[in-house]
Amino acid sequence: MVKYVGVLLVFVIVTFIAGCSKPNESNAEEGLPMLITLTCNPNLTLEPCQDVEFDRSDEIRIMMEAIHKAERMPGILDYGTQYDLSITNADSSITRYDFSLGMDPKMQGLLVNQEDTHTGYSIPLEDSNQLRRLIQRRTD
């Protein structure tokens, strides 16, 4: 099972790097996804939340860099999710993650591929705070 998750993660990363280019679509030419959507979890009411869409290549690049830097967490998770993160690739395929940042600038973000909810990845603090600022700019 662990080997399968590792292979799946490598496949996802390679897909993002290689990309499928379509003419006249700059993100595809750069190997970036076309859209990243954060949809709030309606069951999580502890902190205010707004849905967010990132379609600009600079914002998508920041999100993808943070995802690629995430490190696997040991053990099986018991977690709540703040957002459903959907990555729409250039070929229109969608990769979905459970994603949580919270408001605390001293907390790392959490990323869990929805195909393997027992394995989590922590987003480094610096990247988590950059993502918080990015989301805040889009929701203010």
Tell me what pLDDT residue 24 has: 34
pLDDT at 1: 52
Pairing of strands 121-123, 83-88: unpaired
Q: What is the pLDDT of residue 132?
A: 96
| pLDDT at site 21 | 38
Which of helix, strand or coil describes residue 52? strand
pLDDT of residue 7: 41
Mind listing the domains of the chain with CATH numbers?
2-139 (2.60.40)
CA-CA distance, 35 to 101, in Å (whole number)? 19
**pLDDT number for residue 49:** 86
CA atoms lying within 13 Å on the CB side of residue 63: 27
The pLDDT assigned to 30 comes to 67
DSSP tally for the chain: helices H, then strands E: 4, 7
Distance CA 106, CA 101 (A): 10
Report which secondary-structure segment, H or E, holds 57. helix 57-69
pLDDT (tens, 9 = 90+) of the chain, 140 residues, equals 545 444 444 444 444 444 443 333 455 556 899 999 999 998 876 777 899 999 999 999 999 999 999 999 988 888 889 999 999 999 999 999 999 998 999 999 999 999 988 899 999 999 999 999 999 999 88
- Cα 35 to Cα 42, 78, 117, 124: the distances in Å are 22, 28, 23, 22
Q: How would you list the strands of the sheet with 83-88, edge to edge?
A: 52-54, 35-40, 83-88, 94-100, 109-113, 121-123, 71-72
